[in-house]
Structure 1
Amino acid sequence: MRYEFADCVLDVDRHVLLRGGENVSVEPQVFDLLELLAENPGKLVAREEIIERVWNGRFVSDSTISARIAAARRAVGDDGKAQRIIRTIVRRGLQMAADVTCETDAGSSGDSQTQRLQYARSTEGYAVPYTLFGEGRHVLRIGSVVHDLEAEWRIPSERTRLQDMASRFRLLRYNKDHGVSSNNDHQAVYDKRIDEILSVTQAAGFDRFSILGEMGGTFPALHFAVRHPERVEKLVISGGWAEGRDHRDDAQLPDSIRTLIAEGWNTPGSGYAMGAEFSYFPEGPLESVRHMVDEMQALYSSEERLLYRDIANRTSILHLLSQVQCPTLVLHGRRTAVHPLSEARKLAAGIPKASLVILETANQIPLPGNDAYGVYIQTLQSFLEAED
């Protein structure tokens, strides 16, 4: 992991700080403080979080904390008066004031491929992470099995899908959750997502572009397309749904996925957790689903997963469909069970310029190794590259 900011490079794997290309010697606690701030650009990092990370939660005096902050500023060429890079939020904590670019290793595959995390600024001033790679038509991709760009990149099947897309398009990848699980005002959440999409597309130089919304990414994609039709050339909805389970005929039946999550999500490697995710990807491949579950269990508690499930069950997008103005492609598996083909038909029937392509799979979206995967990628490319 490498973080670049101002004229500095913080290489976490090598435990090296460079400034202007020169090695800067720092003690371990100062390095840990810089790493914590670089991980959270633009965010307030509270004093309690600093103590927990740098001093493992032990009691530490104010003078000791101040000394480490001063040392960190000196190391990156900053000072307490200028605060160009490390900003003090009085009585609350610190903030990384400089823009940060992050380069992460591709993971356990052993290759040297990397992704570069970049950060846009929202209108509220916080950092919004995104990645940008590939050449060709501009495509914004929203949605994934995980709401974390780094975790997604560590999943080999997801990394392969992203690389396949980037070999065909200029792929802007944005996927961020903002407390949807704890916020009942869903429109306020979507308003925030729209603001972030505007921020990352502006930072990436995307003026007019297509959107690929996968699974839960369907909803911010549709909200943005309706709110900003002048920005959206085409829309692809893959593995999405028009109405959640609570609006369907089987709403009164027990929710087996919710039961699996409640019974075993907090147990690493649990068969219950695997069962919950296999509901979305019954055709696997097994190892791909296992990687997904490992990353998701590290990111989300069972309470968070249950809340996400409840929100998916309650959500309906029917009221927006007739307002979508751009050509739209709906891609969906014929034998999907969690969000069945009937939901894709609702989407295609409700959007004026939509067409539906049915994929021969039971997975919510095809994964590398599925027979339908090649058709999925080729159909996506053909639609997005076709002239209107």
Structure 2
Amino acid sequence: MRYEFADCVLDVDRHVLLRSGETVPIEPQVFDLLELLAESPGKLVVRDEIIERVWNGRFVSDSTISARIAAARRAVGDDGKSQRIIRTIVRRGLQMAVEVSCENTLTPREHRKTQHLKYAQGTNGQAIAYTKSGEGPPVVRVGSIAYDLEAEWRLPSERAYINAMEEKFTLLRYNKRHQTNWGDPRHVDYDGVTEDILAVSQTAGFDRFAIVAEFGGLFSALRFAVKYPERVSRLVIVGGWAEGRNHRDGVEGPDSIRNLIVEGWQDPGSGYAVGSLLSYFPEGPLETVREIVGELQTLYSVEEKLYQRDSGNTASVLHLLPQVQCPTLILHARNSAVHPLSEAHKLAAGIPGASLAILETANHIPLPGNSVYDTYMQSLIEFLEAPDEN
């Protein structure tokens, strides 16, 4: 769906706002507010409707609502004084004050409001939830900021990614296996989670497919690509690292992210918890980071978060890199403070024929609302759309 008003285009499919032909970076909640207003130009949109749509009915302060309205006005070239595009109806709500034309670029399939979960049988006997959506070449997503299907569906930042990928590909996502036993993080057994990729892809009917590995999903994705080269057509590594913090030269002192987890992960919405994730996303948007933290604190205990952190710090995949046979793209932030660009150079140098695309951001992986987000998605999609060399 595309909405055109004033000198703006709100492209819902691509989750992009254009003004005078130029992309305007905005936070997901600001985008949702603009979409809500553009859907019914001239209609009064009351406060409760705004909260339900933009904040999923959660409690939110008046100051937060006012800040998002102000940001929406700035994004479309409006302001609170003139209100020529977004009009405030005092003590009632908001109104889109200009004409809006819309173009429906989606099929009914893409207007879905729910995701449908299916289940595969994992190697350890656990049922693995997965979902397959979209049409096009098959792509398996391994790892994400949440690595949980329901959390990804609730997060606007994740939904923007999912919607964009569904337009071009048949996207397969799945839940990571549930762990109850926490062993030595220096000796993680990745064989089981690697076989989970095989179980889910076979159940979904995928024979040969591309893999997009994010964060720690790299470790199982690389092992799968090495063990089953005939099944992997292309590999994208987003925000990956060849060697964890404990293996890197010149890294001294305590792990500040680990300390933040210890101090405050158990307290919902605490500054410590938000600070641990801002280490990955210093450019925000802050509200998006807070939403992600809220979901992660529900999903993962302090023990689980520390295990994830420690296993990542002690991991190394250098021995696997020369064995990867498929075309590979490394996407990495130039100014990531968590896993520096030097780690991406190691990955690209170690994998035969791999290419590295450097993203001009400090966010470890770009989020909707970042100026580089469109570049990130374009690079990802263009690589995945290339013909299978086999």
* TM-score normalised by the chain length of structure 1: 0.69
Q: Equivalents in 2 of 1:324, 1:236: separation in Å? A: 12
Q: Is the 8 A contact 2:261 2:302 kept in 1?
A: yes
Structure 1: which amino acid aligns with 2:171? L
Name the structure 1 match of 2:292.
292
Query: Is residue 322 of structure 2 the alignment partner of residue 322 of structure 1?
Result: yes
Q: Is the 8 A contact 1:181 1:308 kept in 2?
A: no
Q: Which runs of 5+ in 2 are unaligned?
A: 1-52, 58-110
Structure 2: which amino acid aligns with 1:353? G
Q: Is the 8 A contact 1:211 1:236 kept in 2?
A: yes
Q: Is the 8 A contact 1:181 1:304 kept in 2?
A: no
Name the structure 1 match of 2:248.
248
Q: Equivalents in 1 of 2:211, 2:54: separation in Å? A: 27
For the structure 1 residues 310 and 127, does the alpha-carbon distance in structure 2 shift closer, same or farther, using more than 3 Å as the test?
Answer: same
Name the structure 2 match of 1:360.
360
Q: Is the 8 A contact 2:186 2:314 kept in 1?
A: no
Aligned partner of residue 342 in structure 2, secondary structure? helix
Q: Deviations over 1:328-355 (max 9, x none)?
A: 0000011101011110010000000200
CA RMSD of aligned residues (A): 2.1
Q: Equivalents in 1 of 2:181, 2:190: separation in Å? A: 13
Name the structure 1 match of 2:270.
270
Aligned partner of residue 230 in structure 1, secondary structure? helix
Q: Aligned-pair distance for 1:184?
A: 3.3
Aligned partner of residue 145 in structure 1, secondary structure? coil
Q: Aligned-pair distance for 1:198?
A: 1.1
Q: Aligned-pair distance for 1:179?
A: 2.8
Structure 1: which amino acid aligns with 2:199? S
Name the structure 1 match of 2:68.
none
Alignment map for 1:333-344 (pairs within 5 Å) = 333-344=333-344
Name the structure 2 match of 1:5.
none
* TM-score normalised by the chain length of structure 2: 0.69
Name the structure 2 match of 1:129.
129
Q: Deviations over 1:217-269 (max 9, x none)?
A: 11111010001001000000000101100001243222111111111111111
Aligned partner of residue 182 in structure 1, secondary structure? coil
Structure 1: which amino acid aligns with 2:302? S
Bigger shift: 206-215 or 244-253?
Answer: 244-253
Name the structure 2 match of 1:94.
none
Q: Is the 8 A contact 1:180 1:189 kept in 2?
A: no
Bigger shift: 356-365 or 194-203?
Answer: 194-203
Name the structure 2 match of 1:378.
378
Identity %: 60
Q: Equivalents in 2 of 1:194, 1:308: separation in Å? A: 17
For the structure 1 residues 120 and 168, does the alpha-carbon distance in structure 2 shift closer, same or farther, using more than 3 Å as the test?
Answer: same
Q: Is the 8 A contact 2:122 2:128 kept in 1?
A: yes
Q: Which runs of 5+ in 1 are unaligned?
A: 1-105
Q: Deviations over 1:284-309 (max 9, x none)?
A: 11111001100111122222211211
Q: Deviations over 1:71-115 (max 9, x none)?
A: xxxxxxxxxxxxxxxxxxxxxxxxxxxxxxxxxxx9955896111
Q: Aligned-pair distance for 1:175?
A: 3.6
The structure showing larger relative contact order (alpha-carbon pairs under 8 Å, at least 6 residues apart) is: 2
